[in-house]
Amino acid sequence: MAAVDVAALADGVREGRRASISRAITLVESRRADHRAAARELLTTLTPDAGGAVRVGISGVPGVGKSTTIEALGTYLTGRDHKVGVLAVDPSSVRTGGSVLGDKTRMSTLAIDPNSFIRPSPSAGTLGGVARATSQAMTILEAAGYDVVLVETVGVGQSEITVAGMVDTFLFLTLARTGDQLQGIKKGILEIADVIAVNKADGERVREAEVTAKDLAGALRMVYAGTQDWVPPVLTCSGLEGTGIDTVWSRVLRHREFLGHRGLAEKRAQQQLDFTWALVRDELEDRLRRHEGVRAVRADVREEILEGRLGAAEAADRLLAAYDD
């Protein structure tokens, strides 16, 4: 990318021009110092126009039907005059289960829909880097008039929590399971899921999916008994056939109503605060890694630790002392 005319790029984004949006997202994904400066300027310009979207995170294990469901939900929404952005957070950029998150070929209808914009996960190394770029891409899409942004991520580990930290509502997709397996998914998702959908509720699996949804809903009601908190509703849907997708969307909207204007504003403000510190930690770690003094001693320190000659506390002191020099 040559020198960036930030004002012109911002205008293009605001006018909703696809080429400008693509270019702007490429800019925020770039790790080059001059691009980072231009990206900051662009975001400062666009931020007043952003914030208007319903931000939804979507996760679930590979194969659960995320792409298929996003295709169905996205198409449902563009059919109702929404403009839908699809982003993805995949820190490993591994082709999970033969898929790339946010892969356009797996959302073939939505990919050619003029009212949708799909962008695959940036492949920028760390989760922090990917999260920053995705969150900034969301700002760009909102400034371009996209009023729904769906952020896809895999249902394992930290990336889910990261995405939960940048959306208003988190949709967790799961499959019909037996009681034992149900216990397993309950713990991790309780913290972040706002809406749960048992996908692939079609053909012979409808009944099984309904039983799972009922069991899970019952378990959740018990966990939330006596609280005023939002109790995540559990639905069934079929991304493939498009059934239950309207209900999924209505529950997303109901969750927003539950939050209310003030609750949503507070949630987003808290997210910004958390995200700020995450960015700072990330940058500091990056600087630590690149620091010449640290690089000069890290191999020795590593060896001494592995040989049992150096304890962790002392080793940490040495690395930090090298960084301070």
Where does this chain bind ligand GDP (CB under 6 A)? Answer: 60, 62-68, 97, 99, 106, 199-200, 202, 238-240
Contacts 24+ apart (CB under 8 A), 254-263: 255/168, 255/169, 255/194, 255/195, 255/230, 256/54, 256/168, 256/169, 258/230, 259/168, 259/230
Minimum CB distance to ligand GDP, residue 192 (Å): 17
Nearer to ligand GDP, 102 or 232 (CB): 102
**Which residue in 184, 182, 240, 191 sits closest to 213, CA to CA?**
182
Residues 170, 173: Cα–Cα separation, whole Å: 10
Residues 62, 153: Cα–Cα separation, whole Å: 9
CA torsion through residues 130, 263, 44, 114, sign: positive
Nearer to ligand GDP, 142 or 152 (CB): 152
Nearer to ligand GDP, 240 or 319 (CB): 240
Nearer to ligand GDP, 21 or 89 (CB): 89
Residue nearest to ligand GDP (CB): 65
Nearer to ligand GDP, 41 or 241 (CB): 241
Residue with the two structure tokens 């959740």: 220
Q: Is 151 exposed, middle or buried (0-12, 13-18, 19+ CB in 10 A)?
A: buried
Minimum CB distance to ligand GDP, residue 309 (Å): 47
Minimum CB distance to ligand GDP, residue 205 (Å): 7
φ/ψ of residue 27, rounded to 5: -65, -45
Q: Is 311 helix (H, G, I), strand (E, B) or coil?
A: coil
- For residue 58, give Cα distances in angstroms to 87, 151, 263: 10, 6, 21
Residues 17, 293: Cα–Cα separation, whole Å: 46
| Pairing state between β 148-154 and 169-174 | unpaired
The residue ranges of DSSP E strands in the chain, in sequence order, are: 54-60, 84-89, 116-118, 148-154, 169-174, 195-198, 234-236
Nearer to ligand GDP, 62 or 145 (CB): 62
Nearer to ligand GDP, 46 or 154 (CB): 154
Residues 93, 99: Cα–Cα separation, whole Å: 10
Nearer to ligand GDP, 52 or 63 (CB): 63
CB 220 within 8 A of CB 143: no
Nearer to ligand GDP, 69 or 135 (CB): 69
